[in-house]
A and B are shown apart, each in its own frame.
Chain A
């Protein structure tokens, strides 16, 4: 099957130009807004990368710790791809894309130790805090992976514990205690289209991607998560190159969280 649109995209990239005029490793403007839903969530944030927009909310619940980790709290990440955000998304149970997105964000946060899980334990083996992050894309103009991870992280940073009295959580009342955060893992997605490596892929670049690598990076350039997608294979050299790019870009993204 021929594809005149992909051929044209590759020809344009071969001349060193992206469809929206950015350089290959340039992000679109990023903005982060906190406390967008201070009444219903314990923490929330809205992240925009260009026209891509994602909101995330954090809810806290008290539950019983898992038997294998009696001294730790836990984290749950959910993504629902709203049909209003893209013509590609359908309503109904989460599809493979929603599952991949939520699991990649979960892995970046969990393996990057964004939360200090031990401090989320209230009583060993009896009570712990469950941190639930709900992520909703409002508009998909590409790079939902990075936008979702940024939104989740921003919402966690915004989260305050609700008041607890008589073994009950009083959700309307927030205390001044913030969620115990440990590290700041950031995610950066690089796609390979033809011979070009692109940071912050737009929707059309995602549509025609050959391979994609999402890298979770900590402050000291330590890698905490990797997820490869797309049909084409990558050579070890290409993977090293993409990881190096991601490390460089996450240093820039880190300035969003002073």
Chain B
């Protein structure tokens, strides 16, 4: 009875994590009879009675209210189609994107054109993910200017943002770049100098590679100090 693993242990699919009804399955853990079993390769996270596995890698599954980064790939009569790295494209309808009155025959490319990149929010997921509605209304969503795209594993996104955004603030302050992180693992970096963008992308790659080892924030501070960066406070 009880737990078979400790917090932050690395587990494989099919591994038994706990026995008995004292523990409850959470993300990527299932219950089989009275045993909790992992379905992914990842690290264990135990929160009171909840046992969860944070996968080391994996694809993104859209969830309502997630902010994602994507590309405009199609324009219809009343909206845009966005590719954000999921099997199906998301739909932005005109009413969710433009505040002013738009004539029936208006040219929609003046708002969002093919090849534009946007930070957008998922407002509705239906049909097992086949139908995704996105919105361009809200405090954070925007059209993205020139920048470079870095892709990371979606399960690492919380570590790139950090607690209350501490990690992303550290990178932004140290590199002087604007950084937008989508829950789909797409990161958009815009800086004044290419060298600063390079440093930001190196920092993000380091977080992605080392996020399962504890003491990450301290190591990232050392990383920037070694590069000779002193943070503006």
Which chain A residues have a beta carbon within 8 Å of chain B's beta carbons? 1-5, 7-9, 11-12, 15, 17, 19-21, 204
Report the nearest A residue to B195, measured CB to CB.
A17
B23 CB–A CB distance under 8 Å: no
On chain B, the residues within 8 Å of A20 by CB distance are 198
> What A residues does B146 contact at CB under 8 A?
4, 7-8, 11
Closest chain-B Cβ to A167's Cβ sits at a distance in Å of 49
Closest-by-CB residue of B relative to A19 is B148
Nearest neighbor of A16 in chain B, beta-carbon distance: B194
Could you tell me the distance between the alpha carbons of A218 and B81 in the complex, rounded to whole angstroms?
A: 50
Which residue of B116, B144, B147, B193 contacts A2 across the interface (Cβ within 8 Å)?
B116
State whether the Cβ of B117 lies closer than 8 Å to any Cβ in chain A.
yes
Question: B148 contacts which of A8, A15, A21 (Cβ < 8 Å)?
Answer: A8
- CB-CB nearest in chain B for A4: B146
Residues of A within 8 A of B198 (CB): 17, 19-21
B155 within 8 A of A: no
Contacts of A204 in B (CB 8 A): 148
Q: Are B148 and A12 in contact (CB under 8 A)?
A: yes
The CA of A204 and the CA of B149, in the complex, are separated in Å by 9
Q: Among A1, A4, A11, A19, which residue has its beta carbon within 8 angstroms of that of B117?
A: A4
Determine if B102 is an interface residue (Cβ-Cβ < 8 Å). Answer: no
Shortest CB distance B126–A (Å): 25
Contact of B115 among A2, A8, A17, A19 (CB under 8 A): A2
Chain A CB within 8 A of B114 CB:
yes
> In the assembly, what is the distance between CA of A5 and CA of B149, in Å?
7
Minimum distance in angstroms from A86 CB to a CB of chain B: 12
B113 interface hit (Cβ, 8 Å): yes
Asked if B115 and A3 sit within 8 Å, CB to CB, the answer is yes
- Which A residue sits closest to B85, measured CB to CB? A87
A19 near B201 (CB under 8 angstroms)?
yes
B101-114 CB contact bits vs A (8 Å, 1 = yes)?
A: 00000000000011
Q: In the complex, are the beta carbons of B201 and A4 less than 8 A apart?
A: no
In the complex, are the beta carbons of A17 and B194 less than 8 A apart? yes
A4 surroundings in chain B (CB, below 8 A): 115-117, 144-147
- Are A1 and B115 also in contact (CB < 8 A) when A15-B194, A19-B198 are? yes
- A3 surroundings in chain B (CB, below 8 A): 115
In the complex, the chain A residue whose C-beta lies closest to that of B147 is: A8
Q: Hey, which chain B residues are within 8 Å of A17, CB to CB?
A: 194-195, 198
**In the complex, what residues of A have CB within 8 A of residue B147's CB?**
4-5, 8
Known: A1-B113, A5-B149, A8-B148. 15 other contacts (CB 8 A): A2-B115, A2-B116, A3-B115, A4-B116, A5-B117, A5-B147, A7-B146, A8-B146, A9-B148, A12-B197, A15-B194, A17-B198, A19-B148, A19-B201, A21-B202
* A3–B148 alpha-carbon span in the complex (Å): 11
Closest to A20 in B: B198
**Residues in chain B near residue A8, CB distance under 8 A:** 146-148
B202: A residues at CB distance < 8 A: 21
Q: Measured between alpha carbons, how far is A9 from B194 in the docked complex, in Å?
A: 10
- In whole angstroms, how far apart are the Cα atoms of A21 and B114 in the complex? 30
- In residues 96-132 of chain B, which contact A (Cβ within 8 Å)? 113-117
Question: Please, how many angstroms separate the alpha-carbon atoms of A225 and B114 in the complex?
Answer: 38
Q: Which of B154-207 contact A (CB under 8 A)?
A: 193-195, 197-198, 201-202
Chain A residue numbers with a CB within 8 Å of B115 are 1-4
Interface centre among A3, A5, A9, A17 (most CB of B within 10 A): A5
Q: How far is the CB of B194 from chain A (nearest CB, A)?
A: 4
> How many whole Å from B188's CB to the nearest CB in chain A?
10
Residues B195 and A1 in contact, CB atoms below 8 Å apart: no
Question: Which B residues touch A11, using CB under 8 A?
Answer: 146, 194
28 contacts between A and B (CB under 8 A): A1-B113, A2-B114, A2-B115, A2-B116, A4-B115, A4-B116, A4-B117, A4-B144, A4-B147, A5-B117, A5-B147, A5-B148, A8-B146, A8-B147, A8-B148, A9-B148, A12-B148, A12-B197, A15-B193, A15-B194, A17-B194, A17-B198, A19-B148, A19-B198, A19-B201, A20-B198, A21-B198, A204-B148
Q: How far is the CB of B89 from chain A (nearest CB, A)?
A: 15
Q: Which residues of A contact B114 (CB under 8 A)?
A: 1-2
Given A4-B146, A7-B146, A19-B148, A12 and B194 contact (CB-CB distance below 8 Å): yes
- Residues on A with C-beta less than 8 A from B201 are 19
Among B148, B194, B201, residue most surrounded by chain A Cβ atoms (within 10 Å): B194
Within 8 A of A (CB), among B188-230: 193-195, 197-198, 201-202
